[in-house]
Structure 1
Amino acid sequence: MFVPLLLPLIGASPAAARPLPIPPGPGEVPATGSPLPGAGGGSTPAPGSASGNAPGSTSGNAPGNAPGNASASSQGRTPEDRLTVVIFDSGRRDGRYELRCHPTFGTLPDPQGACDQLDGQTRWDRDLFAPVPADAQCTMIYGGPERAHVSGTWAGRPVDTDFSRVNGCEMARWNRFSRLLGEPAHPSEG
């Protein structure tokens, strides 16, 4: 319309008259793969927004995993979510398994169920695979001989952790990852 005609008068170039791209909606990743300036794009996330880090960053803050947001698989997380699971002394599922999420692939019996379970527990401000704190008060109930080692990368964080069922806290932790580690041969409350 009149904008191209007025541009030479105000000293702006015709490139400045191009319409700005429409920013993505809540929970969407910009097409360029970089954060947008403004709310949610700085180092302090806006309430209810993603962490503000660029997709694929390894600072420990996974994009789209703030509490209350939709699952990370719908928010453009990079396919860096990969885990290797080695299960020992289970009596039936001993072996080495691979899991990849976003997109889902793996040698576990139910890779999609494992990815969904992990996504449901992932939060940008918390280490999903953190061990039971040393000062935790746990019931001294033995849950069975099952052990597992999980390594890889989840939500931009390195994972290298062990699981067992030696007390109530460890059984509860195992049960939170039941789709990844499998149901124990010796089920107990946990």
Structure 2
Amino acid sequence: MCVRKTLAVIGGMVSIPLAAPSAAEATEPVGGYRLTVAPVQGAGRVASASLRCGPDGGSHPDPVRACDQLRRVNGNVARLPERPGRCTLEYAPVRVRAHGTWKGRPRDYARTYSNRCAAIRGTGGVLFKF
């Protein structure tokens, strides 16, 4: 009887590692985006950055904070809360875009703001700040 219990415990222990994610799954990012900020009118500088979440990285200057914001909204840029604060009233419209995936699902966000400051604040203050 003691042998049966021991074998049952050992059998259960053996199955635990089989349920763990593979090494490839463990290193695959939760999300990845190509971010752009482009002027709508006239000539101007188009800025872009890459962002990878889980592990956090890419060319974005603050990937940890940007990914933390995205994790809170399940990768849905449109759900990022606006960051309160002042912006100038200059009219220099920019188009922002976040194109990529989150947990294997395609994500695409694009919106035009009255100026770069409004775009940064309107998307949480971090994601398009590069």
**Structure 1 residue 155 corresponds to structure 2 residue 103:** yes
* Aligned-pair Cα RMSD in Å: 4.1
State the shift of 1:120 in Å: 2.2
Q: Is contact 2:35–2:48 with CA below 8 Å preserved after alignment?
A: yes
Higher helix proportion, which one?
Answer: 2
Residues 158 and 32 (structure 1 numbering): CA distance in 2 closer, same or farther, change over 3 Å? Answer: same
Q: Give the aligned residue type for 2:61.
A: P
SS of corresponding position for 1:119: helix
How many equivalent pairs are there?
A: 111
Asked if structure 1 preserves the Cα contact closer than 8 Å seen for 2:31 and 2:102, the reply is: yes
CA distance in structure 2 between the partners assigned to 1:84 and 1:20 by the alignment? 44
Aligned identity (percent) is 27
TM-score (norm: length of structure 1):
0.44
The 1:79–1:31 alpha-carbon spacing in structure 2 relative to 1, beyond 3 Å, is farther
> Which one has the bigger strand percentage?
2
Unaligned runs of 5+ residues in structure 2 are 80-89
1:83 maps to 2:82: no
Higher relative contact order, structure no. (Cα contacts within 8 Å, ≥ 6 residues apart): 2
The 4+ residue runs of structure 1 with deviation greater than 2 A are 14-21, 90-94, 171-174
Q: What are structure 1's unaligned runs of at least 5 residues?
A: 25-29, 35-55, 57-75, 132-141, 184-190
TM-score normalised by the chain length of structure 2: 0.60
- Per-residue deviation, residues 82-128 of structure 1 (Å, max 9, x unmatched): 10011102898732210011111121221111111111222xxxx71
The aligned counterpart of 1:186 is none
Matched to 2:2, the amino acid is V
What's the offset of the Cα at 1:177?
3.9
